[in-house]
Copies of this chain bind each other. A is one copy, B any other.
Amino acid sequence: MDSIAKLINSLTFQRFIIAVILVNAVILGAMATDVTPATMRLLHTLDLICLAIFVIEIALKFAVMRFSMFRDPWNVFDFIIVGIALLPASGPLSVLRALRVLRIMRLVTAIPSMRRVVTGMFAAIPGGASVAAVLFVMYYCAAIIAVKLFRDVSPQHFGDLGTTFFTLFKMMTLEGWPDIADDVIAKSPNAWIFFVTFIILTTFTTLNLLFGIIVDAMNQTREEEEQAELAEANLSEDPLQLAAAKLAVMEDELKAIRKLLEK
Contacts and interface: CB of A to CB of B under 8 A. Distances in A.
A210 B207 contact: yes
A29 B174 contact: no
A170 interface: yes
Contacts of A98: 144-145, 148-149
A99 B145 CA distance: 7
A251 B251 contact: no
Contact of A141 (B33, B95, B105, B207): B105
Contact of A249 (B28, B121, B196, B251): B251
Contacts of A140: 25, 29, 104
Nearest to A235: B239
Given A101-B145, A121-B208, A254-B250, A240 B239 contact: yes
A199 interface: yes
Contacts of A217: 208
Given A145-B99, A166-B192, A251-B250, A104 B239 contact: no
Interface string A133-146: 11001101101110
A39 interface: no
Interface string A28-40: 1100111000000
Closest 4 CB pairs of A and B: A113-B130, A98-B148, A32-B147, A101-B144
Interface of A: 25, 28-29, 32-34, 95, 97-99, 101-102, 104-105, 107-108, 111, 113-114, 116-118, 121, 129-131, 133-134, 137-138, 140-141, 143-145, 147-149, 160-161, 166, 169-170, 173-179, 181, 190, 192, 196, 199, 203-205, 207-208, 210-215, 217-218, 239-244, 246-251, 253-258, 260-262
